[in-house]
Chains A and B, each alone.
Chain A
Amino acid sequence: MLKERIMLPLLLIAAAGAAVFYYIVNPADSQLMPHCILKVITGVDCPACGSQRAMHALLHGHLAAALRYNLFMLYSVPYLIAVLWGYSRLLPGGAFMRRTAHSRTAMLTYIALFTAWWIIRNIIGI
């Protein structure tokens, strides 16, 4: 429990820090921002490509633009939060998230949607 009392605030601080960073910096403007190695090498969009730009747009309230950059985040970000929540022994709903988000079904769904999204986005160019 002690570990969680330390980890949880650290995680929230890191998330807040990232939010401030992506609010200020426009990833589309700078070559120095992290780039997708797969895209650099092969030119293929990976399932996560566009997330930084989407985050920047979202933090500025441009929801439609954010979804155009990366639609998959609509699912992957809440799922990541649910998974993290599932590790919690202190927060209410932690056990529920463990049963659901950490279940085999949820993991297989993630793999399936991830792969499907990856193929579809490269075919129709979204």
Chain B
Amino acid sequence: MSRYYYINSQKQQAGPVEIPELMAAGLRPDTMVWCEGMANWTRADNVPELAKELVAAPAAPTIPGVQPPATDNNDNTGYTTEDSSEMKPAKPANMLWLCILTTACCCMPLGIVSIIYATKVDSAYNVGNYQEAEDNAKKARLFAIIGAVAGFIGIILYTIIMVLAEL
């Protein structure tokens, strides 16, 4: 078993130690480690035998004095992952624009149903129920699209009928 050098919470080099000792020292996936035979220092989760240990003991205690990366959730209605934390999936899109457009151009029952589902996306997402948020978002998108397509087809059909009536 290799003996590892690592960078401790005081940002000082420590070791060499065996893996059990390393784990006891509170190894985290982003702890920098090195052992003989390695070209350079690397993150612990890049070393297969350490990554295995990290998976086996995921709840390693946090190193005192080292803050976990802050998660910035100011923009909690974001639709992409760019400003949400890693653990949080992006909020599913609800096609709100299409709902407003369909309700503002007729075929509103379906547009309104869609907006109701869209509001449920928000409530589910905000309490962390991502699966339910996604299900509601799917329904919101479905009704928005059906509403828009039905409205469009209805208008086209009516226009065709009027054209035929004029002939």
Chain B residues 111-142 with CB under 8 Å of chain A are 112, 115-116, 118-119, 122-123
Asked if residues B103 and A47 are in contact (CB atoms below 8 Å), the reply is: yes
Asked if residues A104 and B119 are in contact (CB atoms below 8 Å), the reply is: yes
Find B75's partner among A49, A98, A108, A118 (CB 8 Å cutoff). A98
Find A36's partner among B101, B106, B123 (CB 8 Å cutoff). B106
**Cβ of B119: which chain A residues have Cβ within 8 Å of it?**
104, 107-108
Asked if residues B162 and A32 are in contact (CB atoms below 8 Å), the reply is: yes
- Determine, out of B20-28, B30-38, B54-62, B152-160, the stretch whose residues face the partner at the interface: B152-160
Asked if A83 lies at the interface with its beta carbon under 8 angstroms from chain B, I say yes
Asked if residues B108 and A47 are in contact (CB atoms below 8 Å), the reply is: yes
* CB nearest neighbor in B for A52: B105
Asked if A6 lies at the interface with its beta carbon under 8 angstroms from chain B, I say no
Contact with B along A80-107 (1 / 0, CB 8 A): 1001100101000001001100111001
Given the known inter-chain contacts A47-B103, A102-B96, A111-B116, please indicate yes or no for A40 contacting B158, CB distance below 8 A. yes
Asked if residues B155 and A104 are in contact (CB atoms below 8 Å), the reply is: no
Asked if A51 lies at the interface with its beta carbon under 8 angstroms from chain B, I say yes
Interface size on A, residues (CB 8 A): 35
Asked if residues B104 and A80 are in contact (CB atoms below 8 Å), the reply is: yes
**Cβ of B159: which chain A residues have Cβ within 8 Å of it?**
32, 34-35
Asked if residues B79 and A76 are in contact (CB atoms below 8 Å), the reply is: no
Whole-angstrom distance between the Cβ of B17 and the nearest chain A Cβ: 46
Asked if residues A34 and B108 are in contact (CB atoms below 8 Å), the reply is: no
Chain B residues 78-96 with CB under 8 Å of chain A are 78-80, 82, 94, 96
Contact with B along A107-126 (1 / 0, CB 8 A): 11011001100100000000
Given the known inter-chain contacts A32-B162, A37-B155, please indicate yes or no for A46 contacting B79, CB distance below 8 A. no
B contact residues vs A (CB 8 Å cutoff): 75-80, 82, 94, 96-97, 100-101, 103-108, 112, 115-116, 118-119, 122-123, 151, 154-155, 158-159, 162-163, 166
What are 16 A-B contacts defined by CB distance under 8 Å? A37-B107, A46-B106, A51-B104, A51-B105, A76-B100, A87-B79, A87-B97, A99-B75, A102-B94, A102-B96, A107-B96, A107-B118, A110-B103, A111-B115, A114-B108, A118-B108
